[in-house]
Amino acid sequence: MSISAPRGLASSGQKPITEILHPLSAAEEPLSPGPDVTVSGGRDKEVGLTNGTPVETPSPASASVLFNRLQLDDDLDSDGRDPYADTETHDLFVTVDDPKKHVSTMETYITYRVSTKTTRIEFDLPDYSVRRRYQDFDWLRTKLEDSQPTHLIPPLPEKFVMKGVVDRFSEEFVETRMKALDKFLKRVADHPVLSFNPHLNAFLSAKDLNKRQGLALLSKVGESVKNVAGGYKLRVRPPEFCAMGEYLDTFNQKLGTIDRIAQRILKEQSEYLTELREYGTVYASWAGSEEELQRPLEGVAGCVTTCCGALEDMSENMGQDFLPVLREYILYIESMKNVLRKRDQSQAEYEGRLEAAVLRKQEDRTPIPAEVEKCQDKMECFNADLKADWERWQSNKRQDFKQLLTGMADKNVTHYEKCQAAWESLITLLQDKQTEDKTSCKSLWEIRQ
């Protein structure tokens, strides 16, 4: 099996280190290219068409297995860095912040500052600070998708916003979008393969992104044409990828439900808040007609107002932090399903070609062309990349949701703590007054006496 060449993929200028670190290339275990080469005649189509390895055997592309193997390999550790280590060495730090509005004759838009700190030699300088707008992020993502189609690319926040419904320049919208862009970039920078992509490098460092929009458009077209022209239909998706697909479908559904619940809660809380505010004002207005009870009633009004404030804060937080993350994951799932489909495509193509080649061989002893092997490599690469990224994604997902949900719990606890404090201080006030001498204020009542 050939170990050379970039894995049949459209990326240009792949650095040697990336190749070497590819899971399949460094494995000691001989990866069976597929039973078709060894099995005579390949009559057993079913066996031949499925991914060779039975489910029980640990897949050679299992990330942790390979990573461990890689660490033993001296060649890789020549410069002491091992980007594949489980405890990832962080040598590329990126941040998105400082939104600014730009007004020009043609358009108004927001730019963000993208700051980079790195010790990687791929970068000329250790620090960078550039300004980018959403379009630029979109460009980067497209480039990553095109150049690394076997990998899961993190999602961007939604591109289109309905003008008139959402204010694109409001503080909340910009803040939310910026956080999502920051997350996107961090995820890319943390990815062992994506972070070495030269487009990322350009994005982070170039003064002026020479985006060559035209070319980008063309390559996109090319890609889709390729996919359609392939026209190979997949017969059976291997079980582990089936499991992935099913998981994604169910997870997507659950996330959708959670999103709806969260929105409903926000709506109910907003209506509750409206009534609560009104409730507080009634106490305040009652206080106006009372003497002894004036302070207690005003106290209650004050507590209610404090509770309103606490609730408002929590709702705002949920809207800004919770919902966007949910939505992000929904987008992530979409893009993952796409990658799964592409993987299916590459498997279908390989199997299709193989089938054709085997038939020809039977007819006129034409040997299996090298293309078929290339397809096989491509497919196996895809499978390995996907599995590795899947594990990564699962692990990140767990962390993200743990953080998200504990955050939600924290916000609720804080909200109740604020309310409790307000009511407790009121009780102190009320009980003090009870023991106070009440004859301090002359009132109409007493004059009458």
Partner 1 sequence: MDDRAAMEICVAEAEKRSGKNAVSMQETFTVYLIETRPMDAVAEGHNPAPDCLWRRYSEFELLRNYLIVTYPYIVVPPLPEKRAEFVWHKLSADNMDPDFVERRRVGLENFLLRVASHPVLCNDKILCYFLTEEHGWKEAVYETGFQAKADSRLRALSATFRVRNPDKCFMEMKHYSDELQSHTSQLLRARARVADRLYGVFKVHGNYGRVFSEWSAIEKEMGDGLQSAGHHMDAYAASIDDILEEEEHYADQLKEYLFYAEALRAVCRKHELTQFELEMASQDLISKKQQREELATGIVRTFSFKGMTNKLFGQEAPEQREARLKLLEDLIAEGEETVKEKTIERHVEKAWVDIQRFKEQKDKDLREALINYAVMQISMCKKGIQVWSNAKECFLKM
Residues in contact with partner 1, shown as a per-residue x/- string from 385 to 404 under the rule CB under 8 A: -------------x--xx--
Nearer to partner 1, 119 or 253 (CB): 253
With CB under 8 A, what is the number of residues at the site for partner 1? Answer: 55
> Beta partners for 94?
116
Helices 239-287 + 323-364 axis angle, to 10: 170
Other Cβ atoms within 10 Å of 331 Cβ, number: 16
Stretch in the footprint of partner 1 (CB under 8 A) among 10-18, 50-58, 108-116, 427-435: 427-435
Token pair for 184: 């996107």
Out of 216, 276, 323, 331, the only residue in the binding site for partner 1 (CB under 8 A) is 276
Spatial distance between the Cα atoms of 431 and 180, rounded to a whole number of angstroms: 50
Does residue number 272 form part of the binding site for partner 1 (CB under 8 A)? yes
Long-range CB contacts (within 8 A, 24+) of 389-397: 389/151, 389/152, 389/191, 390/152, 390/244, 391/62, 391/63, 391/64, 392/63, 392/152, 392/191, 393/152, 393/332, 393/336, 396/187, 397/329
Out of 70, 156, 300, 326, the only residue in the binding site for partner 1 (CB under 8 A) is 300
Minimum CB–partner distance for residue 259 and partner 1 (Å)? 10
Does residue number 445 form part of the binding site for partner 1 (CB under 8 A)? yes
Stretch in the footprint of partner 1 (CB under 8 A) among 9-17, 119-127, 283-291, 367-375: 283-291
* Residue 39 and residue 48 in contact, taking contact as beta carbons nearer than 8 Å: yes
Q: In a 10 Å sphere around its CB, with 0-12 CB exposed, 13-18 middle and 19+ buried, how is residue 241 labelled?
A: buried
Compute CA distances 161 → 165, 177, 333, whole Å. Answer: 8, 11, 20
Nearer to partner 1, 109 or 286 (CB): 286
Out of 86, 98, 271, 334, the only residue in the binding site for partner 1 (CB under 8 A) is 271
Minimum CB–partner distance for residue 419 and partner 1 (Å)? 5
Q: What are the start-end ranges of the E strands in 279-334? A: none
Does residue number 410 form part of the binding site for partner 1 (CB under 8 A)? yes
Stretch in the footprint of partner 1 (CB under 8 A) among 15-23, 52-60, 184-192, 293-301: 293-301
Out of 282, 359, 366, 371, the only residue in the binding site for partner 1 (CB under 8 A) is 282
Q: In a 10 Å sphere around its CB, with 0-12 CB exposed, 13-18 middle and 19+ buried, how is residue 381 labelled?
A: buried
Q: By CB under 8 A, name the binding residues for partner 1.
A: 247, 250-251, 254, 257-258, 261, 264-265, 268-269, 271-272, 275-276, 278-279, 282-283, 285-286, 289, 292-293, 296-297, 299-300, 303, 398, 401-402, 405-406, 409-410, 412-413, 415-417, 419-420, 423-424, 426-427, 430-431, 433-434, 444-445, 448-449
